[in-house]
């Protein structure tokens, strides 16, 4: 079974998501999307699979979102895709693809919904937030 994560190692949510996937017993294909951005076709495919619009996938924090005026409703979906391709940091992350679906794993535990083995045992995020307690009960 192949699981792919579009990952930014500088992002805590992305690191937590990767750790959850690995704790589930899977070793995903890790694509550092800032180094290897998806093609336009792949990005359109991912957005459609998540039932989102390009605007819904835009990341604001830590990006040139404000400088580019992306909050303005004048931008079409195609134009937003152009911005994402020119500035991959605008693509929110992590995006995880599995045979069970595609999710924007924000929060990171959203990935549990598409893992073949979501019973990962106890898991605590980097910041100390408990996702699955010692009784293997999902807390969040």
pLDDT tens-digit map of 5-17: 999 999 999 999 9
- 3-state class (DSSP) for residue 73: coil
Active site residue 11: yes
The active-site residue out of 3, 6, 8, 11 is 11
d(CA 19, CA 35): 20
Name the pTM for this structure: 0.93
Number of H helices, E strands in the chain: 4, 6
Query: pLDDT (tens digit, 9 = 90+) per residue, 116-131?
Result: 998 898 999 999 999 8
The answer to whether the CB of 4 falls within 8 A of the CB of 29 is yes
Q: How confident is the model at residue 134, as a pLDDT?
A: 73
User: Would you identify the CATH topology of the domain 4-132?
Assistant: Glutaredoxin (3.40.30)
pLDDT tier at 51 (50, 70, 90 boundaries)? very high
């Amino acid at each position: 079974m192949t699981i792919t994560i579009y990952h930014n190692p500088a992002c805590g949510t992305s690191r937590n998501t990767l750790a959850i996937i690995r704790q589930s017993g899977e070793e995903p294909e890790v694509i550092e999307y800032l180094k290897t951005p998806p093609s336009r076709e792949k990005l359109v495919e991912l957005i459609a699979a998540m039932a989102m619009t390009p605007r819904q996938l835009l990341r604001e924090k830590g990006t040139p979102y404000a400088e580019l005026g992306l909050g303005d409703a004048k931008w079409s979906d195609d134009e937003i895709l152009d911005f994402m391709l020119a500035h991959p940091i605008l693509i929110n992350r992590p995006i995880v693809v599995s045979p069970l679906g595609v999710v924007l794993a924000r929060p990171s535990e959203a990935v549990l919904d598409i893992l073949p083995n979501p019973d990962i045992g106890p898991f605590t995020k980097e910041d100390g937030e408990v996702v699955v307690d010692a009784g293997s009960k999902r807390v969040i």
